[in-house]
Amino acid sequence: MKTHISDANFPKSADGRVYHLGIKPGELANRIITVGDPARARTIGRYLDRQATAKAVENVQDQAESGVSGNHNGAHANDAPLSVFELYSERGFLTITGTYKGTPVSIVSIGMGSANMDFFVREAREVLDQAGAGDMVVIRFGSCGSLVDDLPVGSLTVPKTSLCVTRNYDFDFMQEEGLDAARPDFMDAYRISKPVRADSVLHDLLVAILREHLPSSTPVVDEHLNASADSFYSSQGRITSFPDHNTGLIDHLAACNVGSLEMETFHLLHLAANWPRPHAPSTQVAEKNGQETDQGAEPVPPPPTSIAVDPLILPSDNPLPTQDTEETILYPSPQQKTASSASQQHKRIRAAAVQMIFAERGSRAFITPQEVEVLQETTSKALLETLIRWEDVN
Amino acid sequence: MKTHISDANFPKSADGRVYHLGIKPGELANRIITVGDPARARTIGRYLDRQATAKAVENVQDQAESGVSGNHNGAHANDAPLSVFELYSERGFLTITGTYKGTPVSIVSIGMGSANMDFFVREAREVLDQAGAGDMVVIRFGSCGSLVDDLPVGSLTVPKTSLCVTRNYDFDFMQEEGLDAARPDFMDAYRISKPVRADSVLHDLLVAILREHLPSSTPVVDEHLNASADSFYSSQGRITSFPDHNTGLIDHLAACNVGSLEMETFHLLHLAANWPRPHAPSTQVAEKNGQETDQGAEPVPPPPTSIAVDPLILPSDNPLPTQDTEETILYPSPQQKTASSASQQHKRIRAAAVQMIFAERGSRAFITPQEVEVLQETTSKALLETLIRWEDVN
């Protein structure tokens, strides 16, 4: 932690950077692909528009090939005057922002698990709110295991719905396994949530563009539910040396039409479905948190933080394209630049997910590095196309 | 993913590296400090014994100052023939293994959230099992917020007990807040688990050594419970633009004697308390997973994975000290090297945690970078002392 932080409720640096992602307003587009792995983020980032000299582009490629840049001081990783902004936060989040065929987009690498997805969604939405951006459009691009035959290794699933599987910490895991044949242990040892839906418009656009871009030998399936688990092992039904009481769990999920198992999608869809705040908080809540209240403003969301935020000013060492220099906000979409205050009241989070099948849980097959490389590159282009064609259908 | 993976149940590389931590038997000591941040891991790593030339030590210091090394191919980060092994996995885990005053220790940086703690505990235990190591002794060294006056910014808490606070995904977060004054929303929107205990011997040793090492101006408190939450925001009672129905949550936790809030400690203590498996799994479970069964072996844990593991052989580019070259296992403790098969049956995970107070939730004060630096360095030395003095009391 190299910067001074000013408030324990929604901590930010003195220049308005959110605590974990490390970015500030103007550094994030509202059309976002989120992945787990910085290397995957850089693979997608290679397709962003370049407006620099050939020499500078070479430098970026070298950097991408060498992996994480190790930039821990919050400064820009690319010093060359490129059209791509890149920030690797000291908490391990990588944000790459640029344009694709002229439209601003971001790619954010978040690591693994629902906690990291929670950091990303909340802090990204906060940064966009401060920038006055409208809808946040997010595609999760991840990997998963499959439980069903029509999702072989190397195929893609685009779930319409996701549920979550979490460990019940109050269950006695040290008790003998299988005491009650009529009620399998996993029913008490794990909680299976109600499903939550992906944004149907974004989902359908994504499926259509993926099928356009992927070779016919790569199945793109959207028949199955997804399940996000809080462990790669126990709550995904893997049998290890720990007494996880999870025998039968994956068979049960497959019988419920769950096709894919991973760790992040549910939390993205859940937060998207539960924003914005439908009602302003009570005066009591706002006052307790030092917020100014606006009792007549329902359904406008309250101020997202309780602290002063610095004015949005272009950094003097701005590595971004000059086309927006008359704007203080770098990466709103064209429609947001002209958004009325009325439309600002209806801003939403619109989210969907596409997952590469890395493992078949039945046959125990696993994808090869070569297969990942090909699938990842083809899919990346389709995802960027989806983000920039989003305006056409809305 | 640069290596070929062979099994979807407990994936490992062809040379026996666990999937997320990237390490294999021999690369992890059984005395471990685990932190969130790679930079903090490197700060602690600087105190490990060096047996190299001054020039080589300088190289390591340069690397530590430049942050994450970006080593994504599973090879050793330090090519110089130092006495410290370092591996930064492509999934973002950093393992540093060496000796402190001659005793093998490891430092593992895991990122944030319970999912990452789950990866760490399960894969570290797996690696140690394969190496034939005994007890795994783990100290979590993290940061947290405090809810009580006797834990000011810059103090340390060493909780005897931790509970967890998780979001109830089935709660209707879009409903109006505060509908029932008699039952605050957080009671239905969040689940608060039963508490789980730290290892009492390790806890007491830790407190004693911290009090020896820290200046009298730094309180070392072990009066309060810890709570680990599944979000930095909602389940830690922060009020943001999301409708989290968490008003009153932190007051409730403080009233239950919870002094500190963070995101990982509970899960470490929970897994430690629930290992090893008290009974061998049924024949049916083992057969389903392709494991050989040993029906007479209770209470010996079953084979932790279902796949063949490569024999443990020193790598040809071994950067480790030569003192162990007659051994094929590099980092078991002396007591483990001579462990009988009987004592192997009683191996455990013994865990405790110390947390630096970064934020006061009441006053909203936040620690400065300078305060972190001083506190972190002093505490690090005390933690290493605790690990190497562990044998003296057991």
Instruction: Examine residue B178 and state whether it is found in any structural domain, yes or no.
Output: yes
DSSP secondary structure of B232-274:
SSGGGT---SS----TTHHHHHHHTTEEEEESSHHHHHHHHHT
Report the pLDDT value the prediction gives residue A329, as an integer from 0 to 100: 38
Report the pLDDT value the prediction gives residue B2, as an integer from 0 to 100: 64
User: Angle CA(B145)–CA(B149)–CA(B154) in degrees, nearest 5?
Assistant: 50
- Report d(CA B95, CA A326) in Å as an integer: 47
Residues of chain A contacting residue B176, judged by C-beta atoms under 8 Å apart: 278-279
pLDDT at A293 over 50: no
DSSP secondary structure of A4-16:
-B--SSS-BBTT-
Residues of chain B contacting residue A113, judged by C-beta atoms under 8 Å apart: 113-116
- With 0-12 CB in 10 A as exposed, 13-18 as middle and 19+ as buried, what is B90? buried
Averaged pLDDT, A100-111: 96
Report the pLDDT value the prediction gives residue B83, as an integer from 0 to 100: 77
Q: Are residues A38 and A108 in the same domain?
A: yes
pLDDT at A308 over 50: no
Q: Are residues A198 and A107 in the same domain?
A: no
Structural domain for A261, as ranges: 156-268+355-393
DSSP A309: -
Radius of gyration of chain B (CA): 22
> Cβ–Cβ of A115/B230 closer than 8 Å?
yes
Number of domains in chain A: 2
- Of B93 and A60, which is predicted with more confidence? B93
Instruction: Examine residue B209 and state whether it is found in any structural domain, yes or no.
Output: yes
Instruction: Examine residue B233 and state whether it is found in any structural domain, yes or no.
Output: yes
Residues of chain A contacting residue B305, judged by C-beta atoms under 8 Å apart: 240
> Cβ–Cβ of B281/A247 closer than 8 Å?
yes
Q: Are residues A114 and A222 in the same domain?
A: no
Q: Are B350 and B137 in contact (CB under 8 A)?
A: yes
Q: Are residues A78 and A171 in the same domain?
A: no
Residue A179: closest C-alpha in chain B: B282
Q: Are residues A325 and A217 in the same domain?
A: no
- ipTM for this model: 0.82
Instruction: Examine residue B336 and state whether it is found in any structural domain, yes or no.
Output: no
- With 0-12 CB in 10 A as exposed, 13-18 as middle and 19+ as buried, what is A27? buried
Minimum distance, in Å, between the CA of residue B176 and any CA atom of chain A: 7
The three-class DSSP label of residue B277 is: coil
pLDDT at A302 over 60: no
| Ordered per-residue pLDDT tens for chain B, 394 residues | 667 787 778 899 989 999 999 999 999 999 999 999 999 999 999 999 986 433 444 444 444 444 333 333 333 334 434 579 999 999 999 999 999 999 999 999 999 999 999 999 999 999 999 999 999 999 999 999 999 999 999 999 999 999 999 999 999 999 999 999 999 999 999 999 999 999 999 999 999 999 999 999 999 999 999 999 999 999 999 999 999 999 999 999 999 999 999 999 999 999 999 999 886 554 444 444 444 433 333 333 333 332 222 222 223 233 333 333 333 334 544 444 444 444 455 799 999 999 999 999 999 999 999 999 999 999 999 999 999 999 754 5
Q: Does B55 touch chain A (CB under 8 A)?
A: no
Minimum distance, in Å, between the CA of residue A326 and any CA atom of chain B: 29
Kindly indicate the confidence band of residue A5, based on its pLDDT and cuts at 50, 70 and 90. Answer: confident
Report the pLDDT value the prediction gives residue A82, as an integer from 0 to 100: 57
Instruction: Examine residue B86 and state whether it is found in any structural domain, yes or no.
Output: no
pLDDT at A258 over 80: yes
Report the pLDDT value the prediction gives residue A334, as an integer from 0 to 100: 41
- Report d(CA A352, CA A222) in Å as an integer: 12
**Nearest by CB to A169, which of B38, B70, B193?**
B193
Q: Are residues A51 and A112 in the same domain?
A: yes
Instruction: Examine residue A37 and state whether it is found in any structural domain, yes or no.
Output: yes
Dump pLDDT digits (tens) for A183-218: 999 999 999 999 999 999 999 999 999 999 999 999
- Of A2 and A270, which is predicted with more confidence? A270
Report the pLDDT value the prediction gives residue B96, as an integer from 0 to 100: 97
> Cβ–Cβ of B164/A166 closer than 8 Å?
no
- Chain position carrying tokens 């977060």: B173
Report the pLDDT value the prediction gives residue A83, as an integer from 0 to 100: 77
- For chain B, strand residue ranges (E) read 31-35, 85-88, 94-100, 103-109, 136-146, 156-157, 161-167, 190-192, 196-197, 220-221, 225-229, 258-262, 349-360
Kindly indicate the confidence band of residue A3, based on its pLDDT and cuts at 50, 70 and 90. Answer: confident
Q: Residue A62: how many CB atoms within 10 A of its CB?
A: 9
- Of A128 and A290, which is predicted with more confidence? A128
Helix B200-213 / helix B369-393 crossing angle, nearest 10 deg: 130
- The CATH code of the domain that includes B216 is 3.40.50.1580
Averaged pLDDT, A171-193: 96
Residues of chain A contacting residue B232, judged by C-beta atoms under 8 Å apart: 19-20, 115, 118-119
- Chain position carrying tokens 């109006």: B176
Report the pLDDT value the prediction gives residue A51, as an integer from 0 to 100: 66
Dump pLDDT digits (tens) for B248-265: 999 999 999 999 999 999
Q: Are residues A255 and A202 in the same domain?
A: yes
Low-confidence winner among A20-29, A36-45, A100-109, A300-309 (lowest mean pLDDT): A300-309
- Report d(CA B112, CA B96) in Å as an integer: 18
Q: Are residues A162 and A54 in the same domain?
A: no
Q: Does A232 touch chain B (CB under 8 A)?
A: yes
User: Residues of B numbered 106-165 whose beta carbons fall under 8 angstroms of chain A's beta carbons: which are they?
Assistant: 111-116, 118-119, 122, 125-126, 129, 145, 164
Instruction: Examine residue A4 and state whether it is found in any structural domain, yes or no.
Output: no
Averaged pLDDT, A129-146: 96
Residues of chain A contacting residue B36, judged by C-beta atoms under 8 Å apart: 91
Instruction: Examine residue A370 and state whether it is found in any structural domain, yes or no.
Output: yes
Dump pLDDT digits (tens) for A309-362: 222 222 323 333 333 333 333 454 444 443 444 444 579 999 999 999 999 999
Residues of chain B contacting residue A270, judged by C-beta atoms under 8 Å apart: 169
Q: Does A345 touch chain B (CB under 8 A)?
A: no
Q: What is the dihedral of CA B158, B159, B160, B162, to 10 degrees?
A: -150
